[in-house]
Amino acid sequence: RDRYSNRTELGARRTTFADAPIALALSAEAFVTREPITVVLSQKGWIRALKGKIDDLSTVKYKDGDGYYLSLHAETTDRIVLFATDGRAFALAGDKLPGGRGLGEPVRLSIDLGEEHDILAMFLPKPDGERLIAASSGYGFVVSDEECAAMRRSGKQVLNLDDGAKTAVVAPIQGDMVAVVGENRKLVVFKTEELPRMGRGKGVKLQAYKDGGLLDALTFKADEGLAWYDTSGRRRDVPDWKDYVAKRAAAGRMVPRGFSRSGKFVG
């Protein structure tokens, strides 16, 4: 005991037993260099990531017969969500996208999406972000961004569709009121709180139709008022929007004089 005591030179070197240090779990993103990119999706479904934050995309070239469709600013460490007309959501890693030196690649090489379906929306998921998703049949609900960010080739079925219906709206929640317009050019406005928050499903009826279906929808702040935007991007206020307020699933009233020719809130 005296010879090997921890007070001796030899005993002080003894190995002791203790809890193992906590291992740090590193994600794949931890090894990706964080750089700004501009993701561009063409009308025919070709995707690419241009280096840097680019606002003017007028010089970007496309294949013959193709053209600009969607774009967003992101970083190589981001997930980019694509929402398709068949109700599925897909997520792609920013660092895995084809570079911008060429024309990109068909997005269908990265996701299982049939030619009969298209990409309707592209966005970056936010931790507290929410979206209004709605089908052409007039049903919809609110879903969190994270529920749409499935990193699977097959994606995630978020919106369940009736036969013949397709996804018509994928819009960020930006206010306490919802405005819905149908193909029959009727408009109805109701409170956002009337919509359920779900991870997947069909949702509830937003607007009733005798003919046609849902064309467009958005959310807005009551204190800022309802507006639509023309093809030049100019804001056009709907001065009497409170006259269109009703309970969810109402048929609504004809849009005001001078409303968008396309029937949509944008363009």
Per-residue pLDDT of the chain (267 residues; tens, 9 = 90+): 777 777 777 767 666 666 666 666 655 566 789 999 999 999 999 999 999 999 999 999 999 999 999 999 999 999 999 999 999 999 999 999 999 888 999 999 999 999 999 999 999 999 999 999 999 999 999 999 999 998 999 999 999 999 999 999 999 999 999 999 999 999 999 999 999 999 999 999 999 999 899 999 999 999 999 999 998 899 999 999 999 999 999 999 999 999 999 999 997
CA–CA dist 79, 93 (Å, integer): 5
Strand ranges (DSSP E) for the chain?
36-42, 46-51, 68-75, 79-84, 88-93, 105-106, 119-123, 130-135, 139-144, 156-157, 167-172, 177-182, 186-191, 204-205, 214-220, 227-229, 235-237, 253-254
CA–CA dist 217, 195 (Å, integer): 13
- pTM (two decimals): 0.86
CA–CA dist 219, 171 (Å, integer): 8
> Helix or strand or coil: residue 221?
coil
Comparing CA positions, the residue from 86, 112, 109, 88 lying closest to residue 98 is 109
DSSP letter at 266 equals B
Q: Are 78 and 89 in contact (CB under 8 A)?
A: no
Contacts of 22 (CB under 8 A, 6+ apart): none
